[in-house]
Amino acid sequence: MNTDDTRLPRRTVLKWFAAAAAAMHLPDFRADAQAAPVKGYGTDPDIAKFYQPGAFWPLTFTPEQRKTATALADVILPKDDLGPAASEVRVQDYIDEWISAPYPVQQKDRDVIVPGLEWIEAESQKRFAKDFATLSGEQHRAICDDLCWAAEAKPEFKKGASFFAKFRTLAASAYYGTDAGWKALGYIGNVPLATFDGPPPEVLAKLGVEQTVK
């Protein structure tokens, strides 16, 4: 909180912003206003309860789609010296849960992910007469290299590249939201420190700045 009496505490200002934002979405309570029916998404979950996958809504992936999604996630985020493979931290489960949610953003992503998995499976059969999950590493890369840069993708791969970009984003979001993902990034947040000495000197040197706060 700022001790200067001429300035408002930041918490108070944030509360005002929140109230103003909420007020902009309030319904019209005038006597002549017509009430519009609103369809909700159910009640809030019990945060003290452990939920199994599919507890909130039916999941989307078929067994075949799950195999394809699992293999593709591991191509994008393979096991290496920094951390486990994507499938080991259940990235495929996250994506399935995400696209199954009954919200507009997630449903829009579902319309990209599901046809995209079907496209990449068809491409695998076309090129190698095999399921994508059973391809070798070299064969996986042959397909993904044609998709990984959407701006440079050939016309026949534009649809696949659009799917690949969305899948890669979801996979990374899932992976780097786990403990293993944090370790891979070198993230050490949420850890109590007895002292804080500021950014490491090598980081400051690389950025060309000096530590001025003591």
pLDDT in tens, 80-125: 999 999 999 999 999 999 999 999 999 999 999 999 999 999 999 9
Amino acid 35: pLDDT: 52
Residue pLDDT, tens place only, 8-66: 554 444 445 455 544 444 444 444 445 555 566 667 778 888 888 888 899 999 999 99
pLDDT confidence of residue 28: 45
Indicate the pTM of the whole model: 0.71
Q: Percent of the chain beyond pLDDT 90?
A: 59
Q: What is the 3-state secondary structure (H, E, C) of the chain?
A: CCCCCCCCCHHHHHHHHHHHHHHCCCCCCCCCCCCCCCCCCCCCCCCCCCCCCCCCCCCCCCHHHHHHHHHHHHHHCCCECCECCHHHHCHHHHHHHHHHCCCHHHHHHHHHHHHHHHHHHHHHHHHHCCCHHHCCHHHHHHHHCCCCCHHHCCHHHHHHHHHHHHHHHHHHHHHCCCHHHHHHHCCCCCCCCCCCCCCCHHHHHHHCCCCCCC
